[in-house]
Chains A and B, each alone.
Chain A
């Protein structure tokens, strides 16, 4: 794109503006002031809180099964009723939240790292590497995440690692492809030229000039990935290649009760509702965070 207009780096706007903790406070309070952002922050905050609490306390022991009281209706002892083994559904969902949180964090971290690596390859000045990686990513992106997970499950068995690797790989490819145009604009800009002319190393240029420019795309993609990772956990666990038996997760609760949806619809409803709320919250979180952290959109960040 030789004729495209030269963008100026966003990070410079930040540099003129506010930093560090004050910046974070502004971002959070901007998010809080919008309805969707507040919803996302509340849901995600509760999610983390419950995950931590579940490490120390659940209303009932996870391992207390009671074959005589399976599929029980909600009661004082079992707030959301019991599942097909007679274990307390509420406790399993509570404990499941920590597994899902771990999966989401690891998946997003892996997807972001892998995606940035691919972006770096695609905007590389070695044209063979750049072109080769574009073709490779276009080819790899056609492989469904589920298929990757099924293949990984053969040597690894059902495990959290399968979900993290398969989703991280798939979402990283997506992220890279979506971020490439923005990254190219920055990479071919005058200030990158001048930085290189002044002897800046390639990694330094990448992290100080290119990454800040693709940050909005990155945030949205990561939040999408986080939401999709929750869904993928449920789906892959249903297929038997996700979270192994005995590890609490929302997908586990869903997959064990979904066969009986005709007879005990309530038992499926709770984990389903939970997954839906969290996925919506994650997507809204990404949007709100992008809007709040972009100095072009959020005037409070531009203040001196």
Chain B
């Protein structure tokens, strides 16, 4: 008892001493300030009251000013026409602007077609259309492509863009092995017979050459320009990068030197939101006028308010692939097991749970890519059939098949939970292992040490992954490889598409993987926005046609 009392006592005493000193200090300072006040009669307290009143008035004025809808819309209502600035909210931010050396579709999305241009470009239907080249001829044997450039082409720094720049860009790409250099296959030579003609010669026909040139491999850079590629960009597109803040925003300004028609909106600000709720709030508060992507569930409040917002889902080439390890030693090396998994998965339910915007996909080629065929009928949802196949393969309720699904945490845990629940019904005991993307890259993609994997293969024209026996699927079918090679070597697009479709059907019939769905990107926009690309806008987002006419009253 004494212990605590003693301790408390000691503490109390020291506290008292401190208090005493403080009191002295306070008394002294109070006196001093009183004296100071006394020297200035009429000042002091009254003035401080006025100061407080002033602060309150200013604070109220500021709050009213910021919150008042007129203030927020003031500059927009003054001009009755289109706004000078449109802000776009995106998700994945580029870490730098060096499009020749940095991977990631965030750069393709914001720079290709806006800041940099290629000989040819892609339409919103994923077809090849003219860009810097106004037309092109292909020789009958498919070995020689002749491009005719538009006249009066310039870069944003004023330099003229000539065929020499094109040749230099492609040669640099191949000699320095810039990103996507391998998209140009079978190339033999690039030459410029005159200043507005470019000739590309191939060793063998390559059916995807034009499409490959629409991407990074075909971009034309100024061979005479000196700039810091990580933070600056000199291209020939309708916009220039005015300001770049890594991981946060990019400001695009109309390029006064642009060789074509000026873009509709002079300034476009691209803002990046890693957090979905922050993005939704930004659209609600009109901080941005466009938001892409937004998950279908989060878009619901905007869909419910059609007077102010439009919500659209666009087609894309994102394939959510449930990869199965086809290696012989694995349980999934057994075709019956793979087939059972495909029968067991209720794709429509997965799509419904995600908000219903996505599309069922039965095979490796999505609808925007050459060779598409609706293969969803091959493995319809059929629990009994799945069970029967697994029983045949030796797995029953008493001895369930144990599998591990490994995927990156960017896709959320919901989809794994649903797959486990659906596979449980057919006696598969699924362990879901949600990991960092880097871990997935190492374990699944590089080491191929997995049973099931889930990843969004968003690339277009990527069917060759199925003809590559070294790819992480461990899928090896010589017939598929043969058909793919033949398709890529064909000089006729119709022939190419037919061969690819045949190969894709074989891959799907082999149940080499399951295609959960074709993800469709959902875009939410202010009602006054027009000309924003809805299809594939996560990889290709030309902004020249974008315009925003704010509602006069809101």
List residues of A whose CB falls within 8 A of some B CB: 4-8, 10, 13, 63-68, 70-71, 84-87, 157-158, 185, 240, 244-246, 252, 256, 259-263, 296
Contacts and interface: CB of A to CB of B under 8 A. Distances in A.
Contact of B409 (A240, A246, A260): A240
Given A7-B6, A245-B434, A263-B301, A63 B424 contact: yes
A260 B432 CA distance: 23
B353 A7 contact: no
Contacts of A86: 353, 418
Given A85-B418, A246-B420, A296-B4, A68 B352 contact: yes
Contacts of A67: 346, 348-353, 418
Contact of A260 (B3, B297, B420, B431): B297
Contacts of A13: 1
A286 B352 CA distance: 47
A256 B413 contact: yes
B417 A85 contact: yes
B276 interface: yes
Nearest to A3: B10
B420 A63 contact: yes
Contact of B1 (A185, A240, A259, A296): A296
Contacts of A10: 3
B301 A262 contact: yes
B433 interface: yes
Given A245-B413, A246-B416, A260-B297, 10 more contacts: A8-B1, A8-B2, A64-B421, A65-B421, A86-B418, A157-B433, A185-B3, A244-B432, A244-B434, A256-B413
Contacts of B6: 5-7
Given A7-B3, A63-B421, A263-B298, A84 B353 contact: yes
Nearest to B304: A263
B7 A5 contact: yes
Given A8-B1, A240-B434, A185 B7 contact: yes
Nearest to A10: B3
B435 interface: yes
A158 B434 contact: yes
B392 interface: no
12 contacts: A65-B417, A65-B422, A71-B297, A85-B417, A240-B434, A245-B434, A246-B432, A256-B412, A261-B277, A262-B298, A263-B300, A296-B4
B462 interface: no
B120 interface: no
Interface of B: 1-4, 6-7, 10, 276-277, 280-281, 297-298, 300-301, 346, 348-353, 409, 412-414, 416-418, 420-422, 424, 431-436
Nearest to A258: B277
B437 to A, nearest CB: 11
B166 to A, nearest CB: 46
Nearest to B346: A67
A5 B1 contact: no
Contacts of A158: 434
Contacts of B416: 245-246
Residue from B300, B352, B418, B432 with most neighbouring chain A CB atoms (10 Å) = B418
A259 B349 contact: no
A245 B432 contact: yes
Contacts of A85: 353, 414, 417-418, 421
Contacts of B351: 67
A244 B432 CA distance: 8
B349 A252 contact: no
B7 A245 contact: no
B225 to A, nearest CB: 43
Nearest to A247: B432
Contact of A66 (B348, B349, B420, B424): B349
A246 B431 contact: yes
A189 to B, nearest CB: 8
Contact of B2 (A5, A66, A70): A5
B324 to A, nearest CB: 19
B420 A5 contact: no
A245 B298 contact: no
Contacts of B420: 63, 246
A68 B356 CA distance: 10
Nearest to A255: B413
A208 to B, nearest CB: 16
A259 B2 contact: no
A128 to B, nearest CB: 28
A10 B4 CA distance: 10
A8 B297 CA distance: 65
A64 B346 CA distance: 13
Given A7-B4, A296-B4, A244 B433 contact: yes
Contacts of B276: 259
Contacts of A87: 417, 421
Nearest to B419: A65
A260 to B, nearest CB: 6
A91 to B, nearest CB: 13
B10 A5 contact: yes
A252 B436 CA distance: 17
A158 B434 CA distance: 8
A10 B422 CA distance: 60
B297 A263 contact: yes
A157 B409 CA distance: 12
Nearest to A84: B414
B10 A262 contact: no
A66 B350 CA distance: 9
Contacts of B300: 263
Nearest to B353: A67
A304 B300 CA distance: 69
Contacts of B4: 7, 296
A296 B413 CA distance: 52
A7 B5 CA distance: 9
Contacts of A68: 349, 352-353
Contacts of B432: 244-246
A84 B301 CA distance: 17
A278 to B, nearest CB: 23
Contact of B280 (A157, A244, A256, A262): A262
B9 to A, nearest CB: 8
A70 B356 CA distance: 12
Nearest to A83: B414
B222 to A, nearest CB: 44
A71 to B, nearest CB: 7
A263 B431 CA distance: 30
Contacts of B3: 5-8, 10, 185
B298 A260 contact: yes
A270 B421 CA distance: 23
A184 B344 CA distance: 66
A149 B409 CA distance: 17
A246 B2 contact: no
Nearest to B299: A263
B453 to A, nearest CB: 15
Contacts of B353: 65, 67-68, 70, 84-86
A63 B423 CA distance: 10
Contacts of A185: 3, 7
Nearest to B355: A70
Contact of A259 (B277, B301, B436): B277
Contacts of B424: 63
A166 to B, nearest CB: 17
Contacts of B298: 259-260, 262-263
A244 B420 CA distance: 14
Contacts of A70: 297, 352-353
Nearest to A70: B353
A300 B353 CA distance: 59
Contacts of B421: 63-65, 85, 87
B92 to A, nearest CB: 17
A4 B3 CA distance: 10
